[in-house]
Amino acid sequence: MTYNVGNPLFKGSLVALITPFSNGVIDEPAFRNLVNWQIDEGTNGLIPVGTTGESPTLNHEEHKKVVEICVEEAKGRVPVIAGAGSNSTAEAIDFTIHAKQAGADAVLHVTPYYNKPTQEGMYRHFSAIAEAVEIPVIIYNIPPRSVIDMSVDTMKRLAEYPNIVGVKDATQDLVRPLKTRLEIGADFCQLSGEDATIVPYLSQGGHGCISVTCNVAPGPLAQMHKAWWDGDLDTVRSINDRLLPLHDALFCETSPGPVKYAASLIGLCEPNARLPICDIADSSKIKVESAMRHAGLIN
C-alpha cells in the first residue's frame, strides 16, 4: 500500500443485518442463527437495526430487543455497532444510552432525515449525542435517503470529539474518502455504505464496508477484504467480479426487499418485510435468483 491506512477502530467486512420476521413479529431464532452464521463466515462486525434492519418500522421495544439479542449472541467475538439513529436528537440519545447499557461496542447514527437540518444543525445533533454518551459513534452519511449531505468540513469539526470515530459513507462519491483522509486523518474510520464501490473505496483510503450483500454472501466478502489487506489483487478482482451482479440486484427495488428475498432462497429467513416495504415483483425475483447463481450461492 502506498498510503497510510492508519489505525481505525473498525475495518473489513461488516454487515448491515436484516431483521427477520415471521407472522408479523421478529423471528428471534432466525436472527440468532444469522448472527452466528455471519461470525462463523468471517464477518468483522455486526450492525443491527440500521435502515437495512427496518428500524423505521420497529417500535422502540423491538428496536432495543434486537440490539440486546445481537450483543448476547455475538458474545464479544466481533464488534456490535448498534443502529441508534433518528431525526429526533432526543430519541437518538435514548437509543444510544440503551445501546451502551446493552453492551454494544459502538453506535451508528444516520444524518437526520426529512427535517433537512443545515450543516450547523447536523453538527449540533451529533455533538449532543457525543456529549451525552461515552461510546464510539459512526456517522451514517446517505444523501439519497436523508436528502442532506454532511460536508467534510462538518465531519472534521465533529471528529474533534474523541468518541466520533468514523463514517459510513453512502454518497457514492469516490473522491470523498481521499478528501476525508487528508482532512481528518488516516485513523478516522471510513466504511463504504455502497457494496458496488468497495474496491475503489478501499483504494482511496477506505477501511471497509458496512454491507447489505454480506447478509447472504458473508464468506466471499470476508475473503475479499482479507485479500485486499494481503495485497492479493487477483483474488479481490475475482470475488468482486462474481459479486457485482448481486450488489446491483439487491437494489433492484427498495432495500431490504430484495435482500430479504435472497436470504429466503438460502433458508435464512422468510422474505417478509414490514409495510411500506412490500414483496418484490416477480421480475425482481428473477434478477435476484440469477445474481445469486452467478455468485455461486445457489444452484
| Mean pLDDT score, 188-214 | 97
Class of domain 12-230: alpha beta
* Rounded Cα distance, 59 and 120, in Å: 29
Q: Which three cell numbers stand for residue 84?
A: 441508534
SS (H, E, C) the chain: CCCCCCCCCCCEEEEECCCCEECCEECHHHHHHHHHHHHHCCCCEEECCCCCCCHHHCCHHHHHHHHHHHHHHHCCCCCEEEECCCCCHHHHHHHHHHHHHHCCCEEEEECCCCCCCCHHHHHHHHHHHHHHCCCCEEEEECHHHHCCCCCHHHHHHHCCCCCEEEEEECCCCCCHHHHHHHHHCCCCEEEECCHHHHHHHHHCCCCEEEECHHHCCHHHHHHHHHHHHHCCHHHHHHHHHHHHHHHHHCCCCCCCHHHHHHHHHCCCCCCCCCCCCCCCCHHHHHHHHHHHHHCCCCC
Per-residue pLDDT tens over the stretch 236-291: 999 999 999 999 999 999 999 999 999 999 999 999 999 999 999 999 999 999 99
- Residues with a catalytic annotation lie at 140, 168
Helices 28-40 and 60-74: crossing angle in degrees, nearest 10, is 40
144, 170 contact by CB (below 8 A): yes
Backbone angles phi, psi at 200, to 5 degrees: -65, -30
**Domain residue ranges in the chain:** 12-230
> 4: pLDDT confidence band, cut at 50, 70 and 90?
low
Per-residue pLDDT tens over the stretch 50-93: 999 999 999 999 999 999 999 999 999 999 999 999 999 999 99
Nearest CA among 240, 213, 212 for reference residue 224: 240
Helices 233-249 and 257-265: crossing angle in degrees, nearest 10, is 110
> 1: pLDDT confidence band, cut at 50, 70 and 90?
very low
> 6: pLDDT confidence band, cut at 50, 70 and 90?
confident
- The whole-chain average pLDDT of the chain stands at 96
Q: Which three cell numbers stand for residue 241?
A: 467480479
pLDDT of residue 96: 98
Whether the pLDDT of residue 123 is over 90: the answer is: yes
| Mean pLDDT score, 285-298 | 98
Query: How many other CB atoms are found less than 10 A from the CB of residue 233?
Result: 12
* Rounded Cα distance, 12 and 190, in Å: 10
> 2: pLDDT confidence band, cut at 50, 70 and 90?
very low
